[in-house]
Amino acid sequence: MTTTKLSGRDLFAQRTSNVLGELEQSGQLKKLQMIEGPMDAEITLRDYGTVACFCSNNYLGLANHPDVVEAGIEGLQRYGAGTASVRFICGTFQAHEDLERTIAEFLDVEAAYTFVSCWTATEAMFPTVCEAGDLIVSDELNHACIIDAMRLTAGIKKGVKRTVYRHSDMDSLDTVLSEARKDPDVTGVIWVITDGVFSMEGDIAKLPEIRALCDEHGAMLCVDDSHGTGVMGETGRGTHEHRGMSGRDVDLFTGTLGKALGGGAGGYLAGSSAAIELIVQRARPTLFSNALPATVACSARKAIETLMNEPQRVAKLRENVAYARRGIRDAGFEVLESPTAICPIIIGDTAKAIAWSNRLLELGVFVIGFGFPVVPEGTARLRVQISAGHGPEHMDRLIDALKTLKAEVG
């Protein structure tokens, strides 16, 4: 008997076409908008012309700030296009040292180390700091990079356990930590990890309560503050500042340079000098993957310095957030309550969220609709993101477009 097997090429072509066909049919196929020119409060889309942008992470309006751009150009001229090496061979430049010192100062911790993304930083952290007998405890709504880094750690280091607690539920966290203390397999360090600001809900981690539970149960606290850094707290230090804590109350930070801090790219790990030295010596992404390009490091450092010198940007962002949230409600939409720059309008149905975001684009406002599987089934939403770079004219355009939409859909 002979069985005819499809070749790998044919099988892959068939499988891929099935997946893409299903996405198309269920209205979930994403269309990438082409942007001509820089990221800013107003951007030019190839298919829609000039629109007000309410879906970037450019929270402080620094992505196209003249000083940030100029620092990148100077960095390019001084250091060339890239490092052509990993950090420990010959890829560490003055620009990295300067940036890492600035990040550590900004967060008030001993040291920091940069990566090409926060995703990479997170995948560098857990597999390096964890050993057999350790347990990683994660909020169930943590960012995808944390979920993947936990899986990766369990795959690389046998005997590392992982579990989740219900979103921002301190009873659930307490229960998980109490049980862990009784688990004979958990003989090592317990790591609790949470987003500072949750990207889809726009709500804020209860850091003081989490810190207290960590202390009670002898656990380490890691915070990924990618949406909180530059946004939360009086001077934009992040979620810990908003909650009245110091950077030293967090054992390890991960964060991105691709959002409020200039928006270029890159991520970092920050904490004690010893923890960072361990990362330098042992983390696979630092040993086997190229450094952050020096030009990007120069822009990011300038962005952080600009933020430190101009804390009024954070105040402007806060004012804008309050204005926009009021306006969204006046337009007849419910927005999840929180002081963060993420304003989710819950729609429910995924296809509806996508159709409405398309309609807003026609009205000159760029807001993205998110549905399953990015958010739980039945909670599709429009996610409006506010920036300090928005003027009243941009926010009024958003509010007017929402009013028009409301009149059309009832």
Ligand X SMILES: *Cc1c(COP(=O)(O)O)cnc(C)c1O
Does 117 engage in binding with ligand X (CB under 6 A)?
A: yes
Looking at the Cβ atoms of 143 and 381, the one nearer to ligand X is 143
* Catalytic annotation, pick one of 227, 240, 242, 302: 227
Looking at the Cβ atoms of 230 and 267, the one nearer to ligand X is 267
- Please say if 316 is a catalytic residue: no
- The alpha carbon of 312 is separated from its chain's Cα centroid by a whole number of angstroms, namely 23
**Helices 144-156 & 118-129 angle (0-180, nearest 10):** 30
Residues 6+ apart with CB under 8 A from 105: none
Nearest to 52 by CA among 394, 368, 356, 382: 394
- The alpha carbon of 142 is separated from its chain's Cα centroid by a whole number of angstroms, namely 10
CB of 300 to ligand X, least distance (A): 11
- Please say if 272 is a catalytic residue: no
How far apart, in Å, do the first and last CA atoms of the chain sit? 63
Tokens 């420990």 belong to 88
Residues 6+ apart with CB under 8 A from 262: 62, 63, 65, 68, 299, 300, 302, 303, 304
d(CA 320, CA 324): 6
Does 119 engage in binding with ligand X (CB under 6 A)?
A: yes
CA dihedral 81, 84, 88, 89 (to 10 degrees): -130
Looking at the Cβ atoms of 211 and 227, the one nearer to ligand X is 227
Of the residues 72, 202, 267, 371, which one makes contact with ligand X according to CB under 6 A: 267
CB of 281 to ligand X, least distance (A): 23
Does 199 engage in binding with ligand X (CB under 6 A)?
A: yes
Looking at the Cβ atoms of 386 and 401, the one nearer to ligand X is 386
Cβ proximity of 61 and 263 under 8 Å = no
Of the residues 161, 227, 301, 302, which one makes contact with ligand X according to CB under 6 A: 227
* Residues found in the chain: 410
For 288, other C-beta atoms within 10 Å of its C-beta total 9
Q: Which amino acid is at 109?
A: V
- Please say if 199 is a catalytic residue: yes
> What single DSSP character describes residue 89?
I
Looking at the Cβ atoms of 99 and 118, the one nearer to ligand X is 118
CB of 117 to ligand X, least distance (A): 3
Nearest to 68 by CA among 302, 365, 324, 337: 302
Looking at the Cβ atoms of 120 and 350, the one nearer to ligand X is 120
Whole-number Cα distances in Å, 268 to 17, 223, 291: 38, 12, 11
Of the residues 143, 161, 162, 242, which one makes contact with ligand X according to CB under 6 A: 143
Does 145 engage in binding with ligand X (CB under 6 A)?
A: yes
Does 292 engage in binding with ligand X (CB under 6 A)?
A: no
Does 226 engage in binding with ligand X (CB under 6 A)?
A: yes
CB of 379 to ligand X, least distance (A): 18
> Which residues in the 176-195 window bind ligand X by CB under 6 A?
195
Of the residues 61, 258, 264, 344, which one makes contact with ligand X according to CB under 6 A: 258
Looking at the Cβ atoms of 130 and 257, the one nearer to ligand X is 257
* Catalytic annotation, pick one of 199, 226, 299, 387: 199
Does 126 engage in binding with ligand X (CB under 6 A)?
A: no
Does 224 engage in binding with ligand X (CB under 6 A)?
A: yes
CB of 105 to ligand X, least distance (A): 20
Compute φ and ψ for 232, nearest 5 degrees. -95, 150
Applying CB under 6 A, the residues found at the interface with ligand X are 117-119, 143, 145, 195, 199, 224, 226-227, 256, 258, 267
Active site residues: 199, 227, 259
